[in-house]
């Protein structure tokens, strides 16, 4: 059997602020295989970003074990990149598209390799022709594509995405979902993403986890359901979303998240 990409066993995370220490996540166990696309859905404040930060090695876990390809995660690991929701703060507005994408590789590879990799990444997110435009002259959807290109230029083995398309309009969101699926088909990276959007989770993922809890009232976030998504690939914005299995999955997730009060 393949070695898992991530393995989490009974992970708990406590965080402290001026008000004291609180348990944010508890008893989180999951295994993510290489090349899988895994979605995590849950209400606001259930610890989704905290989980993503733990996976990225940005927040230490308090209990349990968290391994990446068999090695304990103790800090940011090579080949793991994070795409944040807030592209405005993640990018440098005074740099061009090409210079933003090049940033993580500058000084690390030869100039000619840098040029090639930047141009491939820009092509993958369909921004060819905009290389020399300044960030400030791009639309929100384009800026988010720049952030994705900047992650891809590293040829990552894992892409972590925290509500990557949350701030975008429905049509831009749909086209970026398809860009992401196309990239996954080409690159074989493992993708773990967080979303508030149940349909996005189903459309993109091989498996979706529901995270529940209410940290403010003393109930830490925990994985309350795992839903395999056995929809055929390649997925299609029209036909996939019309499939009875898709609609059944949406129903199941909506119930799990208490979308419709009983
Ligand atoms: N440094 C910290 N110290 C104490 N509590 C924190 C800290 N960071 C986050 N929290 C709390 O942990 C809980 C979960 O936060 P987190 O950002 O992980 O939620 P989330 O599920 O990503 O929410 P959203 O959907 O709104 O982004 C919240 O109640 C938050 O206030
Ligand atoms: Mg969050």
Place of tokens 């990444």: 121
pLDDT at 261: 72
| Nearest of 197, 220, 256 to residue 63 by alpha carbon | 220
Q: How far is the CA of 13 from the centre of ligand 2 (A)?
A: 15
pLDDT at 192: 98
What are the pLDDT digits (tens) for 207-229? 999 999 998 889 999 999 999 99
Q: Return mean pLDDT, the chain.
A: 93
pLDDT at 186: 86
> Between these two residues, 176 and 25, which has the higher pLDDT value?
25
pLDDT at 103: 94
What are the pLDDT digits (tens) for 231-254? 999 999 999 999 999 999 999 999
What are the pLDDT digits (tens) for 83-93? 987 777 789 99
Q: How far is the CA of 107 from the centre of ligand 1 (A)?
A: 35
pLDDT at 262: 63
Task: Calculate the dihedral angle through the C-alpha atoms of 258, 85, 122, 33, rounding to the nearest 10 degrees.
Answer: -50
Give Cα separations from 241 to 170, 199, 230 (angstroms). Answer: 14, 8, 13
- Residue from 18, 21, 48 to probe ligand 1 pocket by mutation (most atoms less than 8 Å from CB): 48
Q: How far is CA 198 from the centre of its chain?
A: 14
Q: What residues flank ion ligand 2 with Cβ within 5 A? A: 48-49
Q: How far is the CA of 133 from the centre of ligand 2 (A)?
A: 30
pLDDT at 1: 65
Q: How far is the CA of 229 from the centre of ligand 2 (A)?
A: 23
> Residue 249 — left, alpha, or beta (φ > 0 → left; ψ -120 to 50 → alpha)?
alpha
End-to-end CA distance of the chain: 42
Q: Considering every ligand atom, which ligand is closest to the CA of 219? A: 1
pTM: 0.93
Cis amide bond preceding 234, omega within 30: yes
Give Cα separations from 228 to 36, 178, 196, 201 (angstroms). Answer: 11, 20, 18, 11
- Ligand 1 atom having least distance to the Cα of 52: 18
CB of 13 within 8 A of CB of 54? yes
């Amino acid at each position: 059997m393949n070695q898992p990409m991530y393995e989490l066993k009974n992970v708990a995370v406590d965080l402290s602020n001026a008000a004291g220490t609180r348990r944010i996540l508890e008893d989180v166990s999951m295994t993510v295989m290489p090349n899988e696309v895994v979605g995590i859905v849950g209400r606001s404040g259930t610890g989704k970003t905290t989980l993503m930060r733990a996976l990225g090695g940005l927040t230490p876990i308090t209990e349990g074990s968290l391994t990446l390809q068999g090695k304990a995660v103790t800090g940011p690991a090579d080949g793991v990149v994070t795409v944040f929701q807030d592209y405005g703060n993640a990018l440098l507005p005074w740099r061009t598209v090409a210079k933003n994408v090049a940033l993580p590789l500058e000084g690390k590879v030869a100039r000619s390799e840098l040029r090639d990799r930047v141009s491939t990444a820009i092509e993958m997110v369909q921004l060819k022709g905009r290389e020399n435009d300044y960030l400030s002259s791009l639309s929100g959807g384009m800026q988010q594509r720049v952030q994705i290109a900047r992650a891809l230029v590293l040829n990552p083995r894992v892409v972590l995405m925290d509500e990557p398309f949350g701030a975008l309009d429905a049509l831009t969101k749909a086209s970026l979902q398809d860009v992401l699926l196309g990239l996954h088909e080409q690159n074989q990276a493992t993708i773990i993403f967080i979303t508030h959007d149940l349909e996005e989770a189903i459309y993109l993922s091989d498996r979706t986890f529901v995270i529940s809890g209410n940290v403010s009232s003393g109930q830490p976030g925990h994985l309350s359901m795992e839903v395999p998504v056995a929809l055929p690939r390649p997925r299609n914005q029209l036909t996939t979303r019309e499939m009875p299995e898709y609609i059944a999955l949406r129903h199941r997730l909506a119930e799990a998240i208490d979308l419709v009060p009983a």
